[in-house]
Amino acid sequence: MWQKKIVLAAATAVLAAGLTACSDDSSGKSTDVASAGALTPVTIALSNQANQSYLPLILAQRLGFFTKQGLNVKIANLQGSPQVSAALLKGDAQGMVGFYDHNLDLQAKGKDTEAVVQLLQAPGMVEMTRTSEPSLKSPADLRGKSVGVTSLGSASATIGSYLAVHSNIPIAETHLVAVAAGATFVAAFQHNRVDAGVTTEPTISTLLKKHLGTIVADMRTAAGTKAALGGPYPGTALTVRTSWAQSHQDTTQKMVNAMYQTLQWMESHSAAEITEHVPADFYSGSGKAQYIQALANETGMYNPTGQMPADAPQTVLRVLTAVDPAIKGHSIDLAKTYTDAYVQKAAQETSAS
C-alpha cells in the first residue's frame, strides 16, 4: 500500500511541478488567459496512452486541432485510472480521458464531474482466455479463475467483474489481477499468471498472433457490446469537473471542438491513414502492419457524433450497480454525469463553416 502512495505522490508532484493548471473563478466567468497570439494551457490526464481507445486525444494534438482552437494541450500519461481521477479532482489536470463510467463512481463519492464528449460508442474491449486452457470457452467458465485487467478500479476491471456476475459467478469468486496492458499483459498470458483477461487493441491482436489467447466476449462494436452486456456501453470520454466547466465554458468548448473535429477526421480516413499520424513507439512492439489491422478491427468503436448513445447511461448504471460497491445504495443523477451541449454546438459550428 505504501508503494502505491509513493507512486501516486510522485506522479502528482511531477504533474503539478511541470504543468500550469487553469484556475477557477468564483464569479462564474472564464479566467482563460487568451491574449493575442497566446495559447491557453490545458492539461489532460490519462493512463496507458498507447491504447487505441485514446487515439482521438492523441490525434487531436498531433493533427493540430487543439492549437487551431487556441489551446496548448499537454497530455499527462499517469500510472492508472485512480491516479488520473486524482489529478483531475486536485486540479493538476483540467480534463481526463477515461471511461464514462468513472463519472457515476465519482458522483457516488460526492464528486461532481461530467463527460463533455463521448469518444467511443463501445468499450473496445474483449475478454480472452488462455489458448493453453481449452476448457475455458466463455465468461461462465471463469469461476475461481484469475482474470487480468489493466488496474484494479479501471474500466477493464468493471467489465471483467460484470461479465462474471452476468454469468452467475459471485464477485467473491472473481479474482482480478492488475497486469497493465501491452507487453506486461502478454507476459501474464505467456507465464500463466492469469487464466483470462480483459484488454484492448493492440494487445488483443498481439495475443491472437502469438496464439496465446482466444476471444470469448467481443465488445469492439456496438452490436458485440449489446450481446455481452445487454445494452449500449460507451467507452472513453473527455471528462471535466463540473465547476471547472462552468467557470471555463470557452475553454471547455474549444476542447470539445478539437475532439469533435478529430472524430470527424477519423471517420473519413482509413486505419492505414490514421496510423501515419500515430507515434511510432505506439506500435514498435507489435509492428506497424499489425497495429493497422488491429485498428481496422475496431474502428466501429469510435463515435463520430461525440454524443452519448441512447440508453447508454442506464446500461452503465445497471452494470455498475451490480459490481461497484460505491454505487450500490446511492441515487445517481445520470443527467449530471454527461452533457451533449458542447458537442452539439461543435457540430453546428462545423456544418456552418
- Confidence at residue 242, expressed as pLDDT on a 0 to 100 scale: 98
Q: Which residue reads 471547455 in cell numbers?
A: 252
- Confidence at residue 190, expressed as pLDDT on a 0 to 100 scale: 97
Rounded CA separation 207/274 (Å): 23
What average pLDDT does range 155-165 have in this prediction? 94
Strand, helix or coil at 35? coil
Are 283 and 291 a contacting pair, CB within 8 Å? yes
Local confidence band at 286 (pLDDT 50, 70, 90 cut-offs) = confident
Peptide bond into 202 cis (omega under 30): yes
Please, what are the domains in the chain?
10-122+234-352 (3.40.190.10), 125-219 (3.40.190.10)
Kindly give the interhelix angle for 312-323 and 101-108, rounded to the nearest 10 degrees: 60
Q: What is the DSSP letter of 120?
A: B
Which pTM was predicted?
A: 0.83
Local confidence band at 326 (pLDDT 50, 70, 90 cut-offs) = confident
- pLDDT tens string 228-266: 999 999 999 999 999 999 999 999 999 999 999 999 999
Mean pLDDT, the chain, as a whole number? 89
Residue among 352, 342, 353 nearest 118 (CA) = 342
- Confidence at residue 6, expressed as pLDDT on a 0 to 100 scale: 37
- Confidence at residue 153, expressed as pLDDT on a 0 to 100 scale: 83
- pLDDT tens string 32-70: 444 445 999 999 999 989 889 999 999 999 999 999 999
- Confidence at residue 25, expressed as pLDDT on a 0 to 100 scale: 33
Are 306 and 119 a contacting pair, CB within 8 Å? yes
